[in-house]
Structures are given as C-alpha cells and as structure tokens.
Amino acid sequence: MENHLRVGVIGAGTMGAGIAQVAAQTGHPVVLYDTRNGAVEHALNALSGTLEKLVAKGKFTRPEADALLSRITPASTLDGLSGCGLTVEAIVEDLAIKKQLFAALEEATAPGTILASNTSSLAITAIASACKQPERVIGLHFFNPAPLMPLVEVVPGLLTSPTLPADCVELMRAWGKVPVICKDTPGFIVNRVARPFYGDSLRIFEEGIADMAGIDHALKSEGGFRMGPFELMDLIGNDINLAVTRSVWEAMFFDPRYKPSLTQQRQVESGRLGRKTGRGYFDHTDPASTAVPNMDPAFARSITERVLAMLINEAADALFLGVATKEDLDLAMIKGVNYPKGLLAWADEQGAAHWVEVLNALQADYGEDRYRASLLLRRMARAGAAFSAGGEEPGVN
C-alpha cells in the first residue's frame, strides 16, 4: 500500500479527525465524511489551528502544514468515498448503526476497497456480517489522540481475508504506528487486559481500604504507572470507561472478572464524568482534591500487588486463549496505555508461583470466581516456567 492510496474516513469527531490527520501526514489523499452538518468543517478548522501551533513550535514548516491540510477534502455523501482504497469508520459505538454504515459503504466503494472499523469494543465479525464481502472488513483500532498515540490494534474478523492483516500491519508501520495483531474477542488486547486496573481499584475503594487519591498514589509510587486509575478514568471520561467495561462484561457472558462498579455508575448518573465536566472522582477546579496522601510504603505495595496480580492474570489468560502473542500483548500495554513494562515480562520478575499465591489468597478470602488464577499461570507456577522462555505453550505442566 503506497502513500498515493486514497483514504476515506467516516466520522469527523476526535478520533476520525485524528486518523485523517495521521493518513494525510504520511502523504495520503484523504476524504473526510460525516452525516452531521458542519462536522467536517469544524474538524478541518480545528486541525488548521493545531497545525498553526505546531508550526509555531517548529514541529512543521509552513509548507508542510499547508500541504497536509490540502490533502484532506470533505465529502458530502458516501459516494464521495468511491475512489478510496481504504476506508476507516470512526462513528458511534453502536453495532446496528455500524452494520448499516458498512452495508452502504460496501455499495459505495469498489470491490477491492478495504473497509476498516476503529471500534474499541464491538466484534469485527458482527460488523462484517452486514457485508456481501466480509473478507475485506478488518478492525484498525487507534488510540486517542490518534496523531500522538503509537498503538494500533489490527483485528481480523472470522471471515477477513488471510492476507489482509499483514497488509494492514505494513501500512500502519508506514504511518509511523506500532501495530499489533489480535483475535476478534471482546475488548481486543488493551481494553480487555486493562479492566482490572480500574475494576479492582474501584473495589479497593468500595471496601474502604484506601481513598481514591491514596490508590492512585500507591500505583504510581510503587507500580510506576504514569497515572493512577482514578485520574485516568477522569481523563478518559467515566461514561466512556463504564460503557467499555459494561460492553466487555456482557460480551464475556457476564464473567465476574469484568463486572462493572456501582461507584462508577453513580458517578455517571450524577454527571460527574471527569475532566470534561470539571469533576469526576476528583474536583478538577481544586488541586487539593488530588493531594498526595501520607501512606506507608508497605501498605502502598500491598494495594499495588493486588491490582498487578489481576492485570498479570488477565494478560496470561489472553495469551492462553490465543488473543495475541506474548510480544504483542506486552507491546500493546506499553504503547497503548503507557504501562511502565509489559505485564508478562513483569510477571517473570517474581515468577508465576508468586502471582498464583496472591490470586489464590484473594479467591479464598472473597470466595469469588473473579479472582481465579489463569490455567496457564497455574501450569507455569507448577513448572517453574517463565513467559520469556516460551511458557505460553498450553502443555506446560
């Protein structure tokens, strides 16, 4: 796929506009379409303002910025995307609406056009079921903000052409991205594996073990995470984070590992959505609300170990079920959510037996299947095996 490939982007919101910028920045002519009146014009004006700032900072020259902007043209109908070799959908996370769009998009584009979805939580196979040629449908999940975040999850559906994932990996690398291939399972890699970072932190708060600022402090100071779970949820938006959690929980047939939190639901119901509303778990008009608490380091480590055990367990289970390779699982968490290290590499530092012991203690204490240790993790613990030594083989015993 050369950079003369015309790229169509459907949806001129934050994600769509960002994807359009990435494609145009790499030299592709881009067609941007949105059904909302004025949405494309607004996106182009916002991009123009962003480019002005980047020129002022010396990140772009004036000719480079002008050329980038000139490569993005608006379309008033889907037919305006007829000459595109790749289209990327970035609209509302609603399966029925996406299926309707893909059926229409298939009719509006040439038979060889790649039809990609930026969905973060819906099944690519389900979206592709609306098409007569499901083999040309694939997931390309960018992370927000798309021009800055390096990770792209490349997600083939059950009927996706076998050669298409490798072609998309090559294209994403040409766009300066870090692609990982993952199976079409709920949450893909990042939104699946990261669920305990939020879910168990919320449980720790609900149990009165520590307050929100304390939990954030513990995971940053002892775990090395760039942001704590509560400040990160406030940045993402509590409505969005809850919706993803609920989506993964329901898609996993209500597995208790992904159960949503009433605390978060009440935040959403109250309108405290995070930074975008000025208040979420913290009051973002009052710096004192996120003040670093006094906390015994050993106590902070105990909180961190509990959350980390759940994260490692989730990564191990994803590996066992073939969601992605161990390299892509670790890479995704580093490049997609800025974890300080890959979870499987992290697991090796203390060994599988240690993490199984932590999880078994939690399960015995709570009596909940939520804390069950992954079969792979238990097998590796018995064998004294390490992920770095190829311990992903299910036959380890």
Catalytic residue among 118, 120, 247, 261: 120
Catalytic residue among 117, 118, 121, 191: 191
Is residue 191 classed as helix, strand or coil in its secondary structure? helix
Catalytic residue among 153, 222, 231, 314: 153
Those residues with Cβ within 8 angstroms of residue 353's Cβ, 6 or more apart along the chain or in another chain = 381, 384
Catalytic residue among 28, 117, 118, 141: 141
Burial grade of 73 (CB within 10 A; 0-12, 13-18, 19 or more): middle
Is residue 274 classed as helix, strand or coil in its secondary structure? strand
Residue 133 CB neighbours (<10 A): 14
48, HSE (Cβ side, Cα atoms, 13 Å): 9
Angle 164-167-170 (CA atoms, 0-180°, nearest 5)? 150
Residue 155 parent element (H or E): strand 151-156
191 is an active site residue: yes
Task: Name the phi and psi angles at 7, rounded to 5.
Answer: -115, 130
354 is an active site residue: no
Greatest pairwise CA separation for the chain in angstroms: 64
DSSP for 301-366, please give it. Answer: HHHHHHHHHHHHHHHHHHHHTTSS-HHHHHHHHHHHH--SS-HHHHHHHH-HHHHHHHHHHHHHHH
Going from the C-alpha of 29 to that of each of 69, 163, 352, the distances in angstroms are 10, 24, 49
198 contacts 245 by C-beta, under 8 angstroms = yes
Q: How far is CA 185 from the centre of its chain?
A: 13
For residue 72, what are the β-bridge partners? 30
368 is an active site residue: no
Closest CA to 183 of 132, 139, 152, 129: 139
The residues carrying an active-site annotation are 120, 141, 153, 191
